[in-house]
């Protein structure tokens, strides 16, 4: 079958960041740094390295600061040049150049009505082609980008079945995630038979849980539109579960790489420590007392 690369990705950034309050009232959590780069930078770079050339932000009203990060700033460049800050200017231009070949656009999610609702806002921009989704809480550090690994699975099974990133966690942690009932298809590849959101202790169908990275087909929009709301929200997992019930094959892929969770303060701090220990510029830093 002819290769069909995916060119569009959806990046929801309209969340309130409640677990990062009070700072998230004035500074979006997507721009919190992981070492010397914002969280969002890692996700956009993964999209780019996975073959994406158009990224659709699902944003909230008045949150343009996030999108501005990816735009060139002639005023700052002029100041650095005037002050002879050549090293800083070089680094800034290098960063900006890495986004030059990407097209950015945005849609507005007026109210935070769930992750599925966020994805639904991008329907018109996606059209009839498969697309990638990555949520801002999950970073994967790997030799081959996680989404590119997933793309290979998507291609292997006919470019027509959704692929969900998943990872195995300790039994005592499963209740914090969406867990999967699965059937093994091939090494690291599973058919998802059921999705159980935050199962109580001892009730999880497996230790495999969802990570916020997906390859989806346009049929997901139909299921999101008719999905029943949960506490007033449209939930992606519920739409996927309905697809499974109606006989649509969905694959779970146990990706290779380190999963960094940045959805709360502790996870964000742990992620910074993980990266600092492996970065040549930071691993030998001594804390001054």
Report which of 86, 99, 83 is spatially closest to residue 44, judged by C-alpha positions. 99
- Quote the tokens at residue 289: 């007392």
Residue-level pLDDT at 164:
96
Please give the C-alpha separations between residue 143 and each of 21, 76, 213, 273, in angstroms, as whole numbers: 34, 33, 17, 19
Residue indicated by tokens 């027509």: 160
User: Averaged in consecutive runs of 10 residues, what is the pLDDT profile of the chain (289 residues)?
Assistant: 73 79 77 87 94 92 77 83 84 80 89 90 92 93 95 90 94 87 94 89 86 95 90 91 94 95 88 88 70
> What integer pLDDT is reported at residue 3 of this predicted model?
44
- Listed in sequence order, the DSSP H helices in the chain are 39-49, 64-68, 74-82, 86-97, 115-120, 123-126, 146-156, 219-226, 236-245, 265-276
pLDDT at 63: 72
Give 262's Cβ-side CA count (13 Å radius): 28
For residue 216, the number of C-alpha atoms closer than 13 Å in the C-beta half-sphere is: 28
User: Residue 277: left if φ>0, alpha if ψ -120 to 50, beta else—which one?
Assistant: alpha
Look up residue 124 and give its DSSP letter.
Answer: H
Place of tokens 């005023």: 75
Domains of the chain: which residue ranges?
8-276
Residue 178 confidence (pLDDT): 85
- Residue with the two structure tokens 């942690």: 173
CATH class label, 8-276: alpha beta
Q: How far is CA 4 from the centre of its chain?
A: 22
Q: Each residue of 184-194: b (16+ CB within 10 Å) or e?
A: eeeeebbbbee
Q: Say how many CA atoms lie within 13 Å of 181 toward its Cβ.
A: 12
Largest CA distance in the chain: 63
pLDDT value of residue 280: 85
Site of tokens 């169908």? 205
pTM of the model: 0.89
Write down the residue that tokens 């380190």 correspond to: 258
Question: 252: which 2 tokens?
Answer: 């779970």
In sequence order, what are the residues at sequence separation of 6 or more whose Cβ sits closer than 8 angstroms to the Cβ of residue 166? 180, 190, 208, 209, 210, 211, 252, 253, 254, 255
Which residues 6+ apart lie within 8 Å of 144 measured at CB?
Answer: 256, 257
């Amino acid at each position: 079958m002819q290769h069909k690369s995916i060119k569009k990705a959806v990046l929801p950034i309209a969340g309130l960041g409640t677990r990062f309050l009070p700072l998230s009232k004035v500074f979006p959590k997507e721009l919190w740094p992981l070492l010397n780069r914002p969280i969002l930078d890692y996700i956009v770079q993964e999209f780019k390295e996975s073959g994406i050339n158009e990224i659709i932000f699902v944003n909230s009203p008045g949150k343009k600061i996030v999108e501005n990060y990816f735009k060139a700033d002639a005023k700052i460049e002029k100041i650095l040049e005037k002050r002879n800050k050549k090293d800083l200017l070089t680094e800034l231009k290098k960063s900006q150049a890495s986004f030059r070949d990407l097209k950015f656009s945005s849609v507005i999610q007026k109210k935070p009505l769930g992750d599925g609702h966020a994805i639904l806002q991008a329907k018109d921009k996606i059209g009839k082609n498969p697309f990638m989704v990555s949520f801002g809480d999950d970073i994967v550090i790997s030799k081959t980008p996680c989404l590119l690994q997933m793309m290979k699975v998507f291609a292997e099974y006919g470019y027509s079945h959704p692929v969900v990133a998943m990872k195995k966690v300790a039994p005592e942690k499963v209740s914090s995630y969406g867990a999967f009932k699965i059937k093994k298809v091939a090494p690291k590849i599973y058919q998802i038979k059921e999705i159980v959101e935050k199962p109580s202790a001892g009730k999880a169908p497996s230790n495999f849980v969802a990570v916020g990275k997906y390859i989806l087909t346009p049929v997901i929009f139909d299921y999101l539109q008719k999905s029943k709301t949960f506490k007033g929200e449209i939930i992606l997992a519920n739409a996927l579960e309905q697809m499974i019930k109606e006989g649509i094959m969905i694959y779970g892929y146990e990706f290779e790489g380190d999963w960094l969770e940045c959805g709360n303060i502790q996870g964000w701090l742990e992620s910074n420590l993980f990266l600092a220990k492996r970065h040549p510029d930071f691993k030998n830093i001594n804390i001054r007392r």
